[in-house]
């Protein structure tokens, strides 16, 4: 940052006027606080808005939403990434990528965020989700404070609570082993769980082909939910 840039940033953050961001509650606010420029005023977050309106959408990333919802091609993103590849370290490209390229990219981000807000806010209103959205904003701000300050933990109570769960978990595990007539690691991310599902439900379980490791049978929430109520279980 030049001094002029620092002064502008401080004026923007000190203003109590509402701010519109995309993922600003989770990313920008903590960063600004760390550089002694805490963001004042109410902070909107279009990523959170979209997540509430379309929970199961494949992505809530700004550039993806820009292309899918706003119809913008965002070629500036490809130009920036091509320039970044010339430098190995983050600080290198942050200081050496021409301002003309960074400026176009930043302006497009800001314009798209505003457009998304103008598109999504009326939908929140019409679907009576404003109160829920505002509660989610408060929760995110609370998370930020917890991350910044930490939380007080009563280790004695925590250990007692965790220990009290051992017996019920063991009982559930025993029941699962009896159903499948063998013992295995029942943790959802365990390859053994996937193999068991493959063995008993070969037509339903899907292979996780996205893994960089050897393909395994998927055991994520979306894959396992269809088995709820299955009479074979």
Residue 79: what pLDDT?
Answer: 93
pLDDT at 41: 93
Q: pLDDT of 23-46, one tens digit each?
A: 999 999 999 998 888 999 999 999
pTM of the model as a whole: 0.67
Query: What confidence tens digit (pLDDT) does each residue in 130-184 have?
Result: 999 999 999 999 999 998 888 888 999 999 999 999 999 899 889 888 888 888 8
Q: Tell me the average pLDDT across 227-232.
A: 66
What are the phi and psi torsion angles at 44 (to 5°)?
-85, 155
Cα dihedral: 184, 188, 192, 196 (round 10): 80
Find the Cα–Cα–Cα–Cα dihedral 113, 115, 120, 126, rounded to 10°: 150
Task: Write out pLDDT tens, residues 77-111.
Answer: 999 988 888 877 655 666 788 889 989 999 999 99
Distance CA 171, CA 75 (A): 56
In the predicted model, what is the mean pLDDT of residues 112-124?
97
**Among 24-33, 42-51, 61-70, 202-211, which stretch is predicted with the lowest mean pLDDT?**
202-211
The DSSP H or E segment spanning 44 is strand 43-45
């Amino acid at each position: 940052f030049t001094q002029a840039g620092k002064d502008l940033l401080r004026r923007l953050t000190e203003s109590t006027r509402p701010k519109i961001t995309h993922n600003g509650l989770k990313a920008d606010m903590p960063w600004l606080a760390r550089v002694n420029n805490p963001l004042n005023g109410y902070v909107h977050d279009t990523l959170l808005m979209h997540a509430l309106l379309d929970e199961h959408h494949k992505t809530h990333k700004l550039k993806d939403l820009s292309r899918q919802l706003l119809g913008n091609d965002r070629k500036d993103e490809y130009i920036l990434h091509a320039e970044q590849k010339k430098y190995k370290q983050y600080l290198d490209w942050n200081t050496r990528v021409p301002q003309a390229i960074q400026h176009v990219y930043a302006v497009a981000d800001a314009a798209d965020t505003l457009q998304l807000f103008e598109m999504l806010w009326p939908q929140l209103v019409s679907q009576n989700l404003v109160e829920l959205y505002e509660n989610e904003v408060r929760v995110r701000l609370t998370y930020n404070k917890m991350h910044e300050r930490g939380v007080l933990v009563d280790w004695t109570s925590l250990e007692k609570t965790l220990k009290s769960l051992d017996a019920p978990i063991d009982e559930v595990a025993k029941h699962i082993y009896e159903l499948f007539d063998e013992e295995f690691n029942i943790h959802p991310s365990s390859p053994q769980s996937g193999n068991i599902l493959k063995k008993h439900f070969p037509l339903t379980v899907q292979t996780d082909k996205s893994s960089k490791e050897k393909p395994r049978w998927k055991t994520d929430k979306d894959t396992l939910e269809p088995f709820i109520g299955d009479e074979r279980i």
